[in-house]
Amino acid sequence: MIPKDQFTNIFGEGRRTPETALDRTTAAAKQIIADSAKKRDQLTASLRDARLAREAEKKSSVAEAPGKGRARPAGTKPE
């Protein structure tokens, strides 16, 4: 005789234990957490891309700007 926990019907589907309210709540909470983590990761990636683009633009504008020359030592007068 086959134990009840290993029994399958003629369609190959095993018996399912009834889902409790706690199981449904836990599944819903895990889904909500996973969705919010996915949204947070997408936001982080987009903000990172924007920051890197801004830094690259800033570096290129700093590289193109003419230098001010050497700073003079403290206590000296301009010539």
Q: For the segment 20-48, what is each residue's pLDDT rounded down to a tens digit?
A: 999 999 999 999 999 999 999 999 999 99
User: What pLDDT does 28 receive?
Assistant: 96
User: What pLDDT does 69 receive?
Assistant: 64
Q: Any idea which residue has 């570096």 for tokens?
A: 59
Domain-by-domain residue ranges, the chain? 20-60
Secondary structure of residue 3 in the 3-state scheme? coil
Total-model pTM: 0.53
Round to whole Å and give the CA distance between 74 and 36: 56
Structure token pair of residue 67: 């230098």
Percent of the chain exceeding pLDDT 90 equals: 48
